[in-house]
Amino acid sequence: MITLGIELARPWALALLPLPVLAWRLLPALPERAAMPVPLGIWMLLDAVSAAGARRDLSTPAGLLLRCLGWVALVLALSGPFMRGGTLLPPSGRDIVLAVDLSASMSGRTAMGQTRDVPPIETVRSLVGSLLHGPGRDRVALITFASEAYLVAPLTFDHDGVIGMLDEVTIGLPGRRTDLGQAIGLAIRTIGDEPAAERILLILSDGETNAGDIPVLDAAAMAREKGLAIHAVGFTATEPGGEPPPLQRVASAVGGSYFLATSDADVEALRAALARTGPASGRTRTLVNDLAWIPLLLALVTVCVVAWREVRDP
């Protein structure tokens, strides 16, 4: 039973298994006068069906085996066998919008400050996969942007679906340049009609905006007014002149944080920041598959077979 993953809700019920044998061995037989008086017709029927039939059926191995099997099945049903299913996690009440840069520069090799010789888009896919790994308690949306911004996946609990969609998109599909202001504006529209929740925009890009008519800082300020916290994940620690990267300046302007995608310490800091912004965890529930009906059905079948054998044999 352990290897099958079956548990018992009332294991103490198994102590009832030897009860028929103990009753047969220890209890005295009732005197004849203690029998309950019944009408003659019913007495004759019971005598024909039960007395002679039961004595005859108990004298055969098959009859004894059927009765033992029925009793064991009845005790097993009483013990409450069950199997644990999946774990039902309550929603966290947090909405996360991922804005992924698909401009031409995301297909290039490592930029300054990176330690891995892989294209930035592959690093982004790996990072998103690790962030969304596990049960989906947050609602997540996916936006891809370059010259244009597109909503690839609306807010959903299906994290695996979002990861799969990110794996399917290609560099240059929304254009070749970077319009970050339009991506922030689309994120605002994505969460605009949704119920109030903890809202986070996570921008994953490797450079500054170089296209579009919406000023990035104005779009970021509007997002903050709508309750959308902005965090950014980039690939450079500083610009050639020692200045912070543009993406970091955007995040800092609205009270957000900037993390390096290729720094293990920054990735862990990002996870901690996302965990801090989420509400307290709700109570989890475990789904249970009740298996008591199986032994109960077996007990009913044995009763029917015993009754059929007694009625069939005169």
| pLDDT for residue 285 | 60
Overall pTM > 0.85: no
Residue type at 105? S
SS3 per residue for the chain:
CCCCCEEECCHHHHHHCCHHHHHHHHCCCCCHHHCCCCCHHHHHHHHHHHHHHHHHHHCCHHHHHHHHHHHHHHHHHHCCEEEEEEEECCCCCEEEEEEEECCHHHHCCCCCCCCCCCCHHHHHHHHHHHHCCCCCCCEEEEEEECCCEEEEEEEECCHHHHHHHHHHCCCCCCCCCCCHHHHHHHHHHHHHCCCCCEEEEEEECCCCCCCCCCCHHHHHHHHHHCCEEEEEEECCCCCCCCCCCHHHHHHHHCCCCEEECCCHHHHHHHHHHHHHHCCCCCCCEEEEEECCHHHHHHHHHHHHHHHHHHHHCC
Greatest mean pLDDT among 79-88, 139-148, 223-232 lies in 139-148
Q: List the one residue out of 131, 156, 117 whose CA is nearest residue 233.
A: 131
| pLDDT for residue 142 | 93
180 and 306 assigned to the same domain: no
Q: What is the pLDDT of residues 75-133, one digit of tens each?
A: 898 888 888 776 545 555 678 899 998 887 777 654 444 445 677 888 888 888 888 87
Q: List the one residue out of 273, 190, 265, 272 whose CA is nearest residue 231.
A: 273
| pLDDT for residue 47 | 56
What confidence tier does 4 reach under pLDDT thresholds 50, 70, 90?
Answer: low
150 and 80 assigned to the same domain: no
206 and 235 assigned to the same domain: yes
Name the pairing type of β-strands 6-8 and 81-88.
antiparallel
Average pLDDT of the segment spanning 218-239: 82
95 and 235 assigned to the same domain: yes
132 and 225 assigned to the same domain: yes
| More reliable by pLDDT, 251 or 275 | 251
Pairwise CA distance, residues 201 & 226, whole Å: 11
Total count of domains within the chain: 2
Lowest mean pLDDT among 103-117, 123-137, 148-162, 207-221: 103-117
What confidence tier does 253 reach under pLDDT thresholds 50, 70, 90?
Answer: confident
SS3 per residue for 236-269:
CCCCCCCCCCHHHHHHHHCCCCEEECCCHHHHHH
56 C-beta neighbours (distance < 10 Å), count: 13
Average pLDDT of the segment spanning 254-274: 81
The domain containing residue 55 runs over which residues? 6-24+38-85+287-312
Determine contact, residues 110/116, Cβ cutoff 8 Å. yes
**Mean per-residue pLDDT over the chain, rounded:** 76
| 31 part of a folded domain | no
Q: Which residues 6+ apart lie within 8 Å of 10 measured at CB?
A: 78, 79, 80
| 66 part of a folded domain | yes
189 and 94 assigned to the same domain: yes
301 and 232 assigned to the same domain: no
**Is residue 274 predicted with pLDDT exceeding 80?**
no
169 and 248 assigned to the same domain: yes
Q: What are 303-306's contacts with CB under 8 Å, separation 24+? A: 303/70, 305/66, 306/57, 306/63, 306/66, 306/67, 306/70
| 229 part of a folded domain | yes
Lowest mean pLDDT among 14-18, 66-70, 140-144, 308-312: 308-312
| pLDDT for residue 280 | 45
**Is residue 243 predicted with pLDDT exceeding 50?**
yes
In the sheet that 149-156 helps form, which strands lie side by side, from edge to edge? 149-156, 139-145, 94-101, 198-204, 228-234, 258-260
User: For a pLDDT cut of 70, what percent of the chain falls above it?
Assistant: 69
| More reliable by pLDDT, 191 or 136 | 191
Lowest mean pLDDT among 121-125, 131-135, 157-161, 168-172: 131-135
59 and 104 assigned to the same domain: no
What CATH number should be reported for the domain holding residue 155? 3.40.50.410
Average pLDDT of the segment spanning 132-138: 71
| 33 part of a folded domain | no
| More reliable by pLDDT, 28 or 249 | 249
Q: What is the pLDDT of residues 15-64, one digit of tens each?
A: 888 888 787 777 676 565 555 565 655 555 555 555 444 445 555 677 77
147 and 75 assigned to the same domain: no
